[in-house]
Structure 1
């Protein structure tokens, strides 16, 4: 079964937690630890979390990963 990979990113607010929680509710699994970095251009902290998901269909670069 193919495994898909996504990197979720967002400003360091509750929106990031909601984005990750939504992905997990749709069957995505956390992959590794979250990362934080300072975005100097926008003067804010940003978060990132990798997630993976096994799917029935074959992978295609045209897939909308957020809809899987």
Structure 2
């Protein structure tokens, strides 16, 4: 089964660490990163989709994706 997550955050090193952590846990980058200005906070925000192939099992929307 292929599972999907979208990581987002302020454009800072914490966001880069979040993506790096996901990659070390077996997630793979999916598509291009996004970058947008948040007019409320007046800061740039980043986003990156990641996917991971896990063993076949029933999908459970109550289960955290990081627990697959």
Is the shorter-chain TM-score for this pair beyond 0.5, marking a shared fold? Answer: yes
Map of 2:10 onto structure 1:
11
Unpaired stretches in structure 2, ≥5 consecutive residues: none
Map of 2:67 onto structure 1:
67
User: What stretches of structure 1 move > 3 A for 4+ residues in a row?
Assistant: none
Aligned pairs, number: 67
Give the aligned CA root-mean-square deviation in angstroms.
1.0
Unpaired stretches in structure 1, ≥5 consecutive residues: none
Map of 1:34 onto structure 2:
33
C-alpha distance after superposition, 1:26-63 (max 9, x if no partner): 00000001000000011100000000001113321112
Map of 1:24 onto structure 2:
23
Using the size of structure 1 for normalisation, the TM-score is 0.92
Using the size of structure 2 for normalisation, the TM-score is 0.92
